[in-house]
Amino acid sequence: MVHTITRALLTFFTSFGVVLLCGNKFIKYLSKFQSEGQPIREDGPQSHIKTKRGTPTMGGILIILSVVCSCVLFGNLNNIFLILSLTILIVFGLVGFIDDYKKVSQHDYHGISAKLRIILQIITSIICCCIAYKYMNYDSRIYFPFIKNLFIDIGYFFIPWAIFVIIGSSNAVNITDGLDGLTIVPIIITSMCFFIISYMKPEQQELCILLSAIVGAGLGFLWFNAFPAKVFMGDTGSLSIGAVLGFTSVILKNEFTYAIIGGVFVIETLSDIIQVLYYKKTKKRVFLMAPLHHHFEKKGLKETTIVTRFWIISFILAIIGLIHVYVVRV
């Protein structure tokens, strides 16, 4: 088979090219059937409401299609980890699509119930994690960050742990997706880091094909999602890509490294959790609005300033994560 790097490059340029070439027509198609675009929370910053109203969503469809097509063309479809990753991408994408469709069709930003969404995510995760666990030779070790060779073996509890990581990652990326370009760049950075890590592991090198496809599709999507965004990825994109990144971290045995590299997703999610729990207990708010990027909007910072600073933080966290992998795990 052609060398992994060569196939990864072909995958990257294919997914990037598909999104870039089809982007404008796809956005026009979405706009045609979404007269009011993605429903916007009315309690959000007024500037946010004005600039986002009317922008079509479900741009994640194009990302998923480009990733799947390029992986089919250049990936080894006999590799179980690649197949499971694509399965998670597609199924979580379908869950997100149903959520987006309900929001758009009913002009309500709530979408499907959280309970139904979690149930669908859990079912998919259980099936994929059980299969992956078998092909990982029942390796149930969890490695801790910053201390060389420190791990615990949790046995069959590894499957619930893996499910937690996948679903947590999926929803964390979804929570972060709130400003133009805010989510897609950390996704690209995280995917590039995982590409490096997976290339260092011969038994998981095939994930390089998937990750390079996500990077290519992500850069293509950023072309249209940069401020002012022509399209949002919606739950279709954020839930599916978040789930795949979580699954990848499990396969690569770098779940805690992912928490470092994808620290922006962690921070945004924690801000949302803290806000909800604190408000339930005290009827007061820690932040002006959660998740955190909306807090800064309420403080009067420009959207482009917030997004750029989050990108910088994501880049710094990625460097820390890679240094950790090199020093501790190698």
First to last CA, the chain: 27
Instruction: Supply the Cα-derived Rg of the chain in whole angstroms.
Output: 19
Judge whether 85 and 107 are in contact, CB under 8 Å. Answer: no
Q: Which amino acid is at 219?
A: L
Looking at residue 50, its pLDDT comes to 61
* Residue 137 pLDDT exceeds 60: yes
> Would you report the helix, strand and coil content of the chain in percent, each value rounded to 5?
75, 0, 25
Q: Is the pLDDT score of 188 beyond 80?
A: yes
Q: pTM for this structure?
A: 0.95
Residue 165 has pLDDT above 90, yes or no: yes
Q: Which residues pair with 152 in a beta bridge?
A: 142
**pLDDT over 70 percentage in the chain:** 94
Is the pLDDT score of 330 beyond 60? no
Q: Which among 306, 324, 7, 12 has a CA at the least distance from the CA of 145?
A: 324
Domain boundaries, the chain: 4-137+145-254
